[in-house]
Chains A and B, each alone.
Chain A
Amino acid sequence: MGKRAGSRRGRNTLPRNSSVAETDRPKPIHCWAMKIGGDWKINGDLPDEALVISLQGLVNRSGPQLYLLYPTKGYDYTNTEAIMAFYHKYHGVDHKTIKTIPEALVKFRKYIRGYIVYDPKLRDSIVLSFTAAGIMDGVVVAPEQIPMMDSLGFKMLVDFRGKFEGMDTTQIYQWAYNHYWNRCSHKALVYLGGAEGDIMQPAIADLGVADRLFFYDLSTEPEAGTQYKLVSMLYGKMRPFSFLFGWHSYMKDTEDSYVTLASHYALRVEGLNTLPNMSFHRWIKLPPGYKFHANHSDLKNPKLEKKIYVSFIQSDGLGLGAWLRPGRGKIPYAWEVNMYWYHYAPGILEFYYHQASPNDFFIGSLSGPSYMYPKAMPPKYLPTALKMASKLMKDLDLNMFEIYDASDSLNRDLPKSIVDDYFKYIPNAIGFVNGYGPAHTFAVKDGLPFISFDYYLPPTRKVDEVVGDLKELATLNPKRPYFLCFHVREYTDVKGVIDIMRHLGPEFKIVPLDVFMKLAGMDPTFKTRYESTKQPVQLFSR
Chain B
Amino acid sequence: MSLNLFCPLSLVVAFMLFGNSFLYAQSQGFAGTWRFDESSSRNVAAAFESGDVRCELHIIPEGSNRMVIEDLADTYVGWRKTELNVDLNGPESTSVWPKGDLPSFSFEAVAIGRDQVVKTKAVEGKDRSAFDLTSYFKVLVSQGTYNIVLRSHYQLSANGDTLTVTETRNSREYNEPAVYVFQRVK
Q: Which residues of A contact B (CB under 8 A)?
A: 254, 256-257, 409-412, 436-438, 440, 442, 452-456, 458, 460-461, 464-465, 468-469, 471-473, 475-479, 482-483, 525-527, 529, 532, 535, 537-542
CA distance in complex: A347, B146 (Å): 48
Q: Which of B47, B76, B173 contacts A254 (CB 8 A)?
A: B76
Closest to A537 in B: B98
Closest to A466 in B: B107
Q: List residues of chain A with CB within 8 A of the CB of B171.
A: 472, 475-476
CA distance in complex: A440, B111 (Å): 9
Known A-B contacts A409-B75, A436-B49, A539-B77; A468 and B172 likewise in contact (beta carbons under 8 Å):
yes
Contact B107 A438 (CB under 8 A): yes
Q: Mark B72-113, 1 if CB is under 8 A from A, else 0.
A: 101111111100000000000000001110000011111100
Q: In this assembly, does B69 line the interface, its C-beta being within 8 Å of a C-beta of chain A? A: no
CA distance in complex: A256, B49 (Å): 12
Contact A458 B49 (CB under 8 A): yes
Contact size class for B? 35 or more
CA distance in complex: A535, B74 (Å): 19
Contact A478 B45 (CB under 8 A): no
Closest to A482 in B: B143
Q: Which of B50, B108, B141 contacts A476 (CB 8 A)?
A: B141
Q: In this assembly, does B125 line the interface, its C-beta being within 8 Å of a C-beta of chain A? A: no
Closest to B100 in A: A410
Task: Give the shortest distance, in Å, between B138 (CB) and chain A (any CB).
Answer: 11
Q: List residues of chain B with CB within 8 A of the CB of A471.
A: 172-173
Known A-B contacts A437-B108, A455-B107, A537-B100; A410 and B141 likewise in contact (beta carbons under 8 Å):
no
Residues of B100-159 whose CB lies within 8 A of A: 100, 106-111, 114, 139-144, 146
Task: Give the shortest distance, in Å, between B105 (CB) and chain A (any CB).
Answer: 8
Contact B51 A254 (CB under 8 A): yes
Contact A525 B143 (CB under 8 A): yes
Contact A438 B173 (CB under 8 A): no
Q: Which of B51, B140, B174 contacts A440 (CB 8 A)?
A: B140
Known A-B contacts A409-B76, A456-B108; A464 and B144 likewise in contact (beta carbons under 8 Å):
no
Q: List residues of chain B with CB within 8 A of the CB of A465.
A: 43, 106
Closest to A526 in B: B142
Q: List residues of chain A with CB within 8 A of the CB of B139.
A: 476
Q: List residues of chain B with CB within 8 A of the CB of A472.
A: 171-173
Could you list some 6 contacts between A and B, CB below 8 A?
A409-B76, A410-B75, A455-B109, A468-B172, A537-B99, A540-B78
Contact A437 B143 (CB under 8 A): no
* Residue from B76, B79, B98, B175 with most neighbouring chain A CB atoms (10 Å): B76
Closest to A454 in B: B109
Known A-B contacts A475-B172, A477-B141; A438 and B108 likewise in contact (beta carbons under 8 Å):
yes
Q: In this assembly, does B48 line the interface, its C-beta being within 8 Å of a C-beta of chain A? A: yes
Task: Give the shortest distance, in Å, between A321 (CB) and chain B (any CB).
Answer: 16
Closest to B55 in A: A542
* Residue from B47, B75, B141 with most neighbouring chain A CB atoms (10 Å): B141
Task: Give the shortest distance, in Å, between A172 (CB) and chain B (any CB).
Answer: 26
Q: List residues of chain B with CB within 8 A of the CB of A438.
A: 107-109, 111
Q: List residues of chain B with CB within 8 A of the CB of A455.
A: 107, 109
Q: List residues of chain B with CB within 8 A of the CB of A540.
A: 72, 78-81
Task: Give the shortest distance, in Å, between B127 (CB) and chain A (any CB).
Answer: 31
Contact A409 B77 (CB under 8 A): yes
Q: List residues of chain B with CB within 8 A of the CB of A539.
A: 75, 77-80
Known A-B contacts A410-B80, A456-B107, A472-B171; A477 and B143 likewise in contact (beta carbons under 8 Å):
yes
Q: List residues of chain B with CB within 8 A of the CB of A541.
A: 78-79
Closest to A442 in B: B142
Known A-B contacts A537-B98, A539-B80, A540-B78; A437 and B50 likewise in contact (beta carbons under 8 Å):
yes
Contact A538 B98 (CB under 8 A): yes
CA distance in complex: A525, B142 (Å): 8
Task: Give the shortest distance, in Å, between B185 (CB) and chain A (any CB).
Answer: 14
Contact A256 B51 (CB under 8 A): yes
Known: A256-B76, A468-B175. 18 other contacts (CB 8 A): A254-B76, A410-B100, A438-B109, A440-B111, A442-B142, A453-B109, A469-B106, A472-B171, A473-B109, A475-B172, A476-B171, A527-B144, A535-B114, A538-B98, A539-B79, A540-B80, A541-B79, A542-B74
Contact A409 B51 (CB under 8 A): yes
Q: Which of A254, A458, A464, A469 contacts B175 (CB 8 A)?
A: A464
CA distance in complex: A438, B139 (Å): 14
Q: List residues of chain B with CB within 8 A of the CB of A436.
A: 49
Q: List residues of chain B with CB within 8 A of the CB of A437.
A: 48-50, 108
CA distance in complex: A96, B174 (Å): 59
Known A-B contacts A442-B142, A539-B79, A539-B80; A460 and B98 likewise in contact (beta carbons under 8 Å):
no
Which 8 residue pairs across A and B have the least CB separation, nearest first? Answer: A437-B49, A539-B78, A438-B109, A540-B79, A477-B143, A472-B172, A526-B142, A476-B141
Closest to B142 in A: A526
Q: List residues of chain B with CB within 8 A of the CB of A461.
A: 45, 106-107
CA distance in complex: A529, B171 (Å): 22
Q: List residues of chain A with CB within 8 A of the CB of B78.
A: 539-542
Task: Give the shortest distance, in Å, between A315 (CB) and chain B (any CB).
Answer: 9
CA distance in complex: A90, B143 (Å): 48
CA distance in complex: A455, B45 (Å): 14
CA distance in complex: A123, B32 (Å): 42
Closest to B146 in A: A476
Q: Mark B7-34, 1 if CB is under 8 A from A, else 0.
A: 0000000000000000000000000000
Closest to B78 in A: A539
Closest to B81 in A: A540
Known A-B contacts A455-B109, A539-B79; A409 and B50 likewise in contact (beta carbons under 8 Å):
yes
Q: List residues of chain A with CB within 8 A of the CB of B72.
A: 540
CA distance in complex: A436, B101 (Å): 14
Residues of B27-68 whose CB lies within 8 A of A: 43, 45, 47-51
Q: List residues of chain A with CB within 8 A of the CB of B49.
A: 436-437, 456, 458
Task: Give the shortest distance, in Å, between A112 (CB) and chain B (any CB).
Answer: 43
Q: List residues of chain B with CB within 8 A of the CB of A464.
A: 175
* Residue from B43, B78, B79 with most neighbouring chain A CB atoms (10 Å): B78
Known A-B contacts A256-B51, A409-B51; A469 and B107 likewise in contact (beta carbons under 8 Å):
yes
Known A-B contacts A468-B172, A477-B141, A540-B79; A412 and B109 likewise in contact (beta carbons under 8 Å):
no
Q: Which of A254, A409, A452, A542 contacts B142 (CB 8 A)?
A: A452
CA distance in complex: A538, B79 (Å): 9
CA distance in complex: A473, B173 (Å): 11
Q: List residues of chain A with CB within 8 A of the CB of B172.
A: 468, 471-472, 475
Closest to A410 in B: B100
